Amino acid sequence: MGEQEPLLTRKEIRAMKAKDKKTAREKLQETEKELEVKQKKISKFFKRERKELKPVTKSRTEENEKVKERGSILNKLIIIVALLLVIMVLAIFYL
């Protein structure tokens, strides 16, 4: 049995390790770029959402009070107009 040559020389092993490190770095850079793109999309979405949401300046009780007040005024006006119509109809028939 004579001396056999090694399957891989040290030079080849170093070259393979360097290549592996290079590909690992490239993959890492790609994933970082993808992450940045996704983060930008998310931040744009939430910026739009923040713009759409306006601070609440009205309260439910205040709005309910306004509606009640408006309703009472309208009811009074309807009653006044109905009375005027009755007076006009009576004036037409009896005069």
Instruction: Please give the mean pLDDT across all residues of the chain.
Output: 88
Please tell me the predicted confidence (pLDDT) of residue 2. Answer: 54
Please tell me the predicted confidence (pLDDT) of residue 70. Answer: 96
* 30-68 confidence digits (pLDDT tens): 999 999 999 988 888 777 766 676 777 889 999 999 999
* 8-28 confidence digits (pLDDT tens): 788 888 888 898 888 999 999
Judged against a pLDDT cut of 90, whether residue 87 lies above it is answered with yes
- In this structure, the chain runs to a length of 95
Q: Where are the alpha helices (DSSP H) in the chain?
A: 10-52, 60-94
Cα(41)–Cα(47) distance, rounded to whole angstroms? 10
Would you state the structure tokens that stand for residue 13, as one six-digit string? 């092993």
Would you state the structure tokens that stand for residue 55, as one six-digit string? 């601070």
Judged against a pLDDT cut of 70, whether residue 1 lies above it is answered with no
